[in-house]
Amino acid sequence: MTVGRRVRPSGRLWNPAADVYRSTDGWIVKVDLAGVCTDELEIMVYDSNLRIRGCRRDTFVRDGFSYQQMEITYSQFEKTIQFPCDIEHGSIAHEYLDGFLIVNLRCE
């Protein structure tokens, strides 16, 4: 979308891809969040759900830029993953590595 010659984020909600692995002491979740600033992330655990929210912004575009082709979605996102057990009382750790958010959920 353009307004004049300025590019703005799409209005659609982005749904990033995720892989979920079962480990010996809990779960590992890997979410594809290339281009997302870690300051923009909100990670919540409740009952048997993990919810990750944030926003991917296009920080490259400057005044005077127009586009020829845009395939990357820039918008807010929310990813909720439901587990087959309660994860609320376990421990959680996360890291951002090469464009992936890695969340480790350890069950108690």
CATH topology of domain 14-58+76-106: Immunoglobulin-like (2.60.40)
Q: How many residues does the chain have?
A: 108
The pLDDT score that the predictor gives to residue 22 is 96
Burial class of residue 63 in the structure, from the number of CB atoms within 10 Å of its CB (0-12 exposed, 13-18 middle, 19+ buried): exposed
List of the chain residues with pLDDT < 50: 1-8
Could you state, in order of their start, the residue ranges of all structural domains in the chain? Answer: 14-58+76-106
Q: What confidence tens digit (pLDDT) does each residue in 78-99 have?
A: 999 999 988 888 899 999 999 9
The tokens of 87 are what?
């994860």
Chain-centre distance of CA 100, in angstroms? 8
